[in-house]
Structure 1
Amino acid sequence: MLKVDAGGGDQLAVAVLVQYRMATTEQLHLLIAPGVRIEQTRRRLVKLRGEGLIDRVTLPQAGRTRVWFVTQYGAQVAAEWPELRHWQPSRTVADRTAARLRVGHTLTVTETGLAFVQDARRRGDVCRPLDWIPEVYHPLGSGQAVIPDALLYYRRGAEGDEDGTMLRAFVEVDRATMGPERLAAKISAYARLHQYVPAPPPGARHRRAGQEPAREDWRRRYPLFPRLLFILDGTGPAGVDTRIHALHATARQPEHAAFLRDVPVLAASMTDLLRHGPAASIWRPVHGPGHRVSWTHSRHP
């Protein structure tokens, strides 16, 4: 799990914008400094903008909401911080035009991450702002990859609690901009990632007797394959049900049986997530959508 201390709130504000791509003033305030007045956060952002580290766009259709993003200069500064060693510069929102084009989906993903961070604070668990990492690249070979909307690190239990449990999840936030079948196809992509073993480099020697066999690529990063969470937004309850039924139909395909045995795959509506919190029993397992469970208690067998 990641933690930014050096440099105080200024560094954390820039680091969050680097990692999340974009956030509104209120989202940033709740992520980095919920214990102070929002006016202090506004002053901090104005100062960082004056220093050329961040910039903003204004959304007139949303009550002139200000949306912040890191500048190229801010990205260059942040690239030196060890907390952001996983960050990929190519995914930075570098100017106002790019920010306006990406704002809808990106702010929804930011709001989702904020929900997990706030829920952890309420429950005494550990999920810091930088434990929500958007768009982590996972190769599948032949130029293909799985890129979840976010990778979540979440620890049940207080800091230093030896009995705490580390949870990881791939998170897909669907705003109903694609059809149910395309959404459900993401299960197939994650099933491929679950079994993907990189090919040996050209010219590599054949495996000798007693040498360990090649392993799935995800094992280099994770002790267990992360849970897969679908968060459904942009429709009413009927649309959510339609999308969950499409996920269920894909999950029933025989080629996904091994993946579903090893990895919890759950879906919930954004409305329920924001109303009840991520830890509530709002999640519907895609293999049995008639049930509702908590994602933190849905465990690998």
Structure 2
Amino acid sequence: MSDVDAGGGDRLALAVLTQYRMATTEQMHRVIAPGVRIEQTRRRLGKLRDEGLVDRITLPRAGRMRAWFPTAYGVQIASEWPELRGRRPPKTVSDPTAARLRVGHTLTVTETALVFLENARRRGELCRPLDWIPEVYHPIGGGEAVIPDALMYYRRGREGGAGAMLRAFVEVDRATMGPERLAAKLTAYARLHRYIPTPPGRHRLAIGQEPALEEWRRHYPLFPRLLFVLDGTGPAGITTRITALRTAAADPALAGFLRDVPAMAAALADLRNHGPSEPVWHPVQDPDSTVAWSQPYPHL
């Protein structure tokens, strides 16, 4: 058995890689130990690799950059820890071939997480590394599900003081799908918003029986905000994708959902340059305006 539990830093590193799926050395350093020299992070990752808990690939077109991922053994160890226990088993990238096939999108999702983590640190707000949870499964009936790129927990306000807990579903789009497919995600989230599961063998309410609630209410006091983070294209491509979201948002069938749930889009470049708490987000109903993602719920 590995002695990974003996070192809090080792444990956090393996937990982050298990949850995030993949990260470069520099990304791991920024997530787990930004206050120390990056050589310490390299040594930590090397130690975990020697123990068979993580592995790496080298990205030939990125200055020989290394991307790290957990092995199947590492996932097995980390999944037993309380902070990860009970979560749906991750889609692991536990071998180099699988890692190479998923590296582009997965590293962009990790970079998006860092935008929020580092913003919280600067502002004295609260968003810890494990408050970013990729690929949380949400059924919508008929064997279908909504699986956001990440579910994020973020507490607004100074750490230790009063503040509001915010939740967001985050969809990261690298222009690898057409604008219409991106916009169709709005419809999927609207289905999740209204989905009420039918218990097996029950087709109608008995007299005096309380009506069933939407599935999402079992997990969240409010439906999480919906954030589209756009990357992989220039400004014109970003505009095209925001326009597609606006067109989809005009569907009367989505009016109730978008009245109750803030949905907005922003370029990853703008989040890096200005910070995600700044008014750089375009509401899907009114993309000519910009707002802060964390403004009071529920309406824009």
Note whether the superposition's TM-score is higher than 0.5. Answer: yes
Q: Which residue in the other structure is 2:43 paired with?
A: 43
> Aligned equivalents of 2:140 and 2:6: distance in 1?
36
**Residues 99-122 of structure 1: per-residue CA shift (max 9 Å, x gap):** 000000000000000110000000
In structure 2, what residue type is equivalent to 1:227? R
SS at match of 1:139: strand
Q: 1:116 to 1:6 in 2, by over 3 A?
A: farther
SS at match of 2:200: coil
Cα deviation for residue 90 of structure 1 reads: 4.8
> Aligned equivalents of 2:53 and 2:142: distance in 1?
37
Q: Which residue in the other structure is 1:126 paired with?
A: 126
> Aligned equivalents of 1:249 and 1:80: distance in 2?
45
Deviating runs (4+, > 3 A) in structure 1? none
Cα deviation for residue 235 of structure 1 reads: 1.0
Q: 1:205 to 1:247 in 2, by over 3 A?
A: closer
Contact 1:264 1:299 in 2 (8 A): yes
TM-score for both structures, normalised by structure 1: 0.95
SS at match of 1:171: strand
2:130 corresponds to 1:111: no
2:297 corresponds to 1:299: yes
Q: Which residue in the other structure is 2:165 paired with?
A: 166
Q: Percent identity?
A: 69
Cα deviation for residue 71 of structure 1 reads: 0.5
Structure 1 unaligned residues grouped into runs of 5+:
none
With 290-299 and 137-146 compared, the bigger mean Cα shift is at 290-299
Contact 2:230 2:265 in 1 (8 A): yes
Contact 2:227 2:264 in 1 (8 A): yes
Contact 2:19 2:90 in 1 (8 A): no
> Aligned equivalents of 1:116 and 1:58: distance in 2?
26
Cα deviation for residue 299 of structure 1 reads: 2.1
Q: Which residue in the other structure is 1:255 paired with?
A: 253
> Aligned equivalents of 1:35 and 1:114: distance in 2?
15
**Residues 248-269 of structure 1: per-residue CA shift (max 9 Å, x gap):** 0100110000000000000000
Of 219, 222, 227, the match for 1:229: 227
Cα deviation for residue 159 of structure 1 reads: 3.3
Cα deviation for residue 79 of structure 1 reads: 1.5
> Aligned equivalents of 1:298 and 1:96: distance in 2?
43
Q: 1:255 to 1:69 in 2, by over 3 A?
A: same
Aligned-pair Cα RMSD in Å: 1.4
> Aligned equivalents of 1:110 and 1:147: distance in 2?
16
Of 287, 290, 293, the match for 2:288: 290
Q: How does 1:73-222 map to 2 (within 5 A)?
A: 73-161=73-161, 163-202=162-201, 204=202, 206-222=204-220
**Residues 60-108 of structure 1: per-residue CA shift (max 9 Å, x gap):** 1100000000011111111110111243335111100000000000000
> Aligned equivalents of 1:206 and 1:191: distance in 2?
23
Contact 1:264 1:298 in 2 (8 A): no
In structure 2, what residue type is equivalent to 1:157? G
2:11 corresponds to 1:14: no
SS at match of 1:197: coil
Cα deviation for residue 205 of structure 1 reads: 7.8
With 152-161 and 282-291 compared, the bigger mean Cα shift is at 152-161
SS at match of 2:167: strand
Contact 1:228 1:263 in 2 (8 A): yes
With 169-178 and 77-86 compared, the bigger mean Cα shift is at 77-86
SS at match of 1:267: strand
In structure 2, what residue type is equivalent to 1:66? R
Q: How does 1:30-69 map to 2 (within 5 A)?
A: 30-69=30-69
Structure 2 unaligned residues grouped into runs of 5+:
none
SS at match of 1:91: coil
Count of aligned residue pairs for this structure pair: 295
Contact 1:228 1:266 in 2 (8 A): yes
**Residues 218-261 of structure 1: per-residue CA shift (max 9 Å, x gap):** 00000000000001111111111111011001001100000000
> Aligned equivalents of 1:6 and 1:42: distance in 2?
18
Cα deviation for residue 206 of structure 1 reads: 4.7
Cα deviation for residue 270 of structure 1 reads: 1.0
In structure 1, what residue type is equivalent to 2:213? R
